[in-house]
A = this chain, B = another copy of it.
Amino acid sequence: MMQNLSPSSVSAPAATMTKAQRFLAACRRQPVDYTPVWLMRQAGRYMSEYRALREHYTILEIIKSPELACLVTLQPIQAFDLDAAIIFADILPPLQGMGLSLEFVKGEGPVIHDPLRTPASIEALQVRPPEETLSFTLDAIRLTRQALDPLDIPLIGFSGAPFTLAAYAVEGGGSRNHVLVKSLMMSDPASWALLMEKLSEVVGHYLLAQARAGAQVLQLFDSWVGQLSPEDYRRYVLPHSRRALEIAGEAGVPIIHFGTDTGTMLPLLRAAGGDVIGVDWRIPLDTAWAQLGPDVAIQGNLDPVSLFAPWPALQERTQFVLDEAQRAGRHGHIFNVGHGILPHTPVDNVRRLVDFVHSYTAAQKAGAA
């Protein structure tokens, strides 16, 4: 299997760094030979290899089998010249570990069957060590590192952030307006604080355990935080994200702090923590980076719908992002989509995107672009 990894690398520009060196250097805002690229949800439904496996296993079966999770983690690494792998998992199993009942319902997405609707249900939430509740993902990380190490490809571990987990736990699933979770936050500050304190402990220790199991980089996903006003984020979320990031930071590996729709609260996300801030396409990359300040790297920010466009349009859009990063005049850009790759994304466009990011930025950095 190993010789099948990175089949596209023949077309890559001459590399002077391994993928792990490149990715970690970008996280630390050090010079790189070309811009590293990975894609949120790079393992998933848009790949036929993944869909074939899903005919036999549910999402939770894959996540809970270290061998299957490892296999799926490697699928996009085998197909594309990506600079990092991300462990195949989901943001919601930590809620299961706290005592909630999680199911992925076909066509509906994740459902929490016993959502938090009373102070007592929040008090009953358990804070247990990830080695007890999430050992399958820790084992998957150990196994995947064995496959990736010979190729010096780094592995990213991740967790949902306290607010995003609270949103699922209170709403019981996805939500358009997040009325229930925001109402709890606005109406019962004591229960809210207890919930967020428990979640920040669980999230922080889960991330820390992933790093100790072998993840060389961590990402905190605060997917729904852009539903909040900046003032609500500052008051009700920031301290808890900061706590989770402080615990995770004990591992000493770089941390990416990602949210969508955060264009009006970037300095607050920065204040919560992270070595890299992930942003979506709603804010120009250079504007975002200027707002974040000099001492942080940036990840993003192609609109994932761009991958449905014909190659010339996709190339132009990718170049636009890379030119913004170049214009910022700093080291420390990791190219990514601004939110996860969507189902039905054409695989060939993913391949061309990854290769183009490499060749274009190699030329940029050589002064030829």
**Among candidates B265, B282, B313, B317, residue contacting A226 with C-beta atoms closer than 8 Å:** B282
A156-176 interface (Cβ within 8 A of B) = none
Q: With both chains docked as a complex, state the minimum distance between the C-beta of A306 and any C-beta of chain B, in angstroms.
A: 6
Interface presence of A129 (CB below 8 A)? no
Q: With both chains docked as a complex, state the minimum distance between the C-beta of A13 and any C-beta of chain B, in angstroms.
A: 27
Q: In the complex, which residues of chain B have a beta carbon less than 8 angstroms from the beta carbon of A313? A: 186-187
Q: Are A186 and B283 in contact (CB under 8 A)?
A: no
Q: In the complex, which residues of chain B have a beta carbon less than 8 angstroms from the beta carbon of A50? A: none
**Among candidates B178, B231, B264, residue contacting A264 with C-beta atoms closer than 8 Å:** B264
User: Which one of A282, A303, A342 has the greatest number of beta carbons of chain B within 10 Å?
Assistant: A282
Q: In the complex, which residues of chain B have a beta carbon less than 8 angstroms from the beta carbon of A261? A: 226, 261, 282
Interface presence of A263 (CB below 8 A)? yes
| Interface size in chain A (residues, C-beta < 8 A) | 34
A131-188 interface (Cβ within 8 A of B) = 177-179, 182-183, 186-187
Q: In the complex, which residues of chain B have a beta carbon less than 8 angstroms from the beta carbon of A356? A: none
Number of copies of this protein chain within its complex: 2
Q: In the complex, which residues of chain B have a beta carbon less than 8 angstroms from the beta carbon of A228? A: 282
Known: A261-B261, A264-B282, A342-B177. A317 touches B230 (CB 8 A): no
Binary CB contact string for chain A from 291 to 327 against chain B (1 if under 8 A, 0 otherwise): 0000000000001111011100100010010000000
**Among candidates B183, B226, B231, B287, residue contacting A309 with C-beta atoms closer than 8 Å:** B183
Interface presence of A110 (CB below 8 A)? no
How many angstroms between the C-alpha atoms of A369 and B169 in the bound complex?
A: 41
Q: Which residue of B lies closest to A340 (CB)?
A: B177
Q: Which residue of B lies closest to A187 (CB)?
A: B309
Q: Are A179 and B282 in contact (CB under 8 A)?
A: no
Q: With both chains docked as a complex, state the minimum distance between the C-beta of A87 and any C-beta of chain B, in angstroms.
A: 24
Q: In the complex, which residues of chain B have a beta carbon less than 8 angstroms from the beta carbon of A320? A: 231
User: Which one of A178, A263, A283 has the greatest number of beta carbons of chain B within 10 Å?
Assistant: A263
Q: In the complex, which residues of chain B have a beta carbon less than 8 angstroms from the beta carbon of A305? A: 177-179, 182-183, 186
Q: Are A230 and B283 in contact (CB under 8 A)?
A: yes
Q: With both chains docked as a complex, state the minimum distance between the C-beta of A267 and any C-beta of chain B, in angstroms.
A: 12
A261-291 interface (Cβ within 8 A of B) = 261, 263-265, 281-284, 287
Interface presence of A11 (CB below 8 A)? no
Interface presence of A229 (CB below 8 A)? yes
Q: Are B283 and A342 in contact (CB under 8 A)?
A: no
* 24 A-B residue pairings within 8 Å (CB atoms): A177-B305, A178-B305, A179-B305, A179-B308, A179-B342, A182-B305, A182-B308, A183-B308, A186-B309, A186-B317, A187-B308, A187-B309, A187-B313, A226-B261, A226-B282, A229-B282, A229-B284, A231-B320, A232-B303, A261-B282, A263-B263, A264-B264, A264-B282, A264-B287
Residues in chain A within 8 A of chain B (CB atoms): 177-179, 182-183, 186-187, 226, 228-232, 261, 263-265, 281-284, 287, 303-306, 308-310, 313, 317, 320, 342, 344
Which 7 pairs from chain A and chain B are nearest by CB? A263-B264, A186-B309, A182-B305, A229-B281, A183-B308, A264-B283, A187-B309
